[in-house]
């Protein structure tokens, strides 16, 4: 499906349908490019942000291949989120692009609250909580999102641009 790259789009809030779809899923596949070429990784994410656009929070170490790539100046990522096992006629999911950054201080504390509210099992396991608290919490701010919803008609899509 084609992209709207270069199209003039008015600054509007992210549509409720896209926000609801982001909240309906919990795993995204992040794609990036580094010195070794393209790569992808799956991470659990939580949705926050009350402004015009959503903010996605996820955990990964700065020392992983993707952590190093996300931390590069000017680095961009692409991502998808969808449920497994869907029939094509009802397929729904999201595509997006944006920038990531690791959080610290009060920003990390606020993001961590969003993340642990979404995934309460993190706090229920002392071992898991301690391990995740020692790693980086990242913020992904999408600047383009596309919702695909074949249940509303084959190829139905809704887009948002920051």
**SS (HEC) of 85-140:** CCCHHHCEEEEEEEEEEECCHHHHHHHHHHHHHHCCHHHHCHHHHHHHHCCEEEEE
Give the per-residue pLDDT at 2: 46
In a domain, 158, yes or no: no
Residue 1 pLDDT greater than 80, yes or no: no
Give the per-residue pLDDT at 38: 95
In a domain, 54, yes or no: yes
pTM (predicted TM-score): 0.87
In a domain, 38, yes or no: yes
Phi and psi, residue 140, nearest 5°: -115, 120
Containing structural domain, residue 44: 16-131
In a domain, 93, yes or no: yes
Q: pLDDT tens for residues 39-88?
A: 999 999 999 986 789 999 999 999 999 999 998 888 899 999 987 776 77
Number of domains in the chain: 1
Q: How confident is the model at residue 11 (pLDDT cuts 50, 70, 90)?
A: low
Residue 6 pLDDT greater than 60, yes or no: no
Give the per-residue pLDDT at 151: 79
In a domain, 140, yes or no: no
Give the per-residue pLDDT at 113: 95
Question: For the domain that residue 83 is a member of, what is the CATH number?
Answer: 2.30.110.10
Which sign does the torsion angle of CA 82, 86, 88, 91 carry? negative
In a domain, 39, yes or no: yes
Residue 36 pLDDT greater than 60, yes or no: yes
In a domain, 47, yes or no: yes
Give the per-residue pLDDT at 86: 67
Structure tokens at 50: 């009350």
3-class DSSP state of 84:
coil
Q: pLDDT tens for residues 100-158?
A: 999 999 999 999 999 999 999 998 889 988 888 889 999 999 999 999 988 788 888 99
In a domain, 50, yes or no: yes
């Amino acid at each position: 499906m084609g992209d709207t790259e270069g199209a003039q789009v008015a600054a509007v809030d992210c549509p409720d349908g896209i926000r609801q779809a982001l909240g309906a899923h919990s795993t995204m596949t992040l794609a990036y490019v580094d010195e070794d070429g393209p790569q992808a990784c799956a991470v659990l994410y939580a949705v926050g942000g009350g402004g015009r656009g959503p903010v996605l929070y996820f955990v990964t170490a700065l020392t992983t291949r993707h952590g190093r790539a996300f931390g590069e100046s000017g680095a961009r990522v692409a991502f998808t989120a969808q449920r497994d096992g869907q029939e094509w006629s009802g397929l729904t999911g999201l595509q997006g692009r944006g920038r990531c950054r690791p959080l610290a201080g009060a920003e990390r504390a606020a993001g961590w609250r969003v993340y642990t509210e979404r995934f309460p099992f993190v706090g229920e396991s002392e071992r898991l909580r301690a391990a995740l608290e020692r790693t980086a919490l990242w913020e992904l701010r999408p600047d383009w999102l596309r919702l695909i919803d074949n249940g509303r008609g084959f190829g139905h899509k809704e887009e948002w641009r920051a």
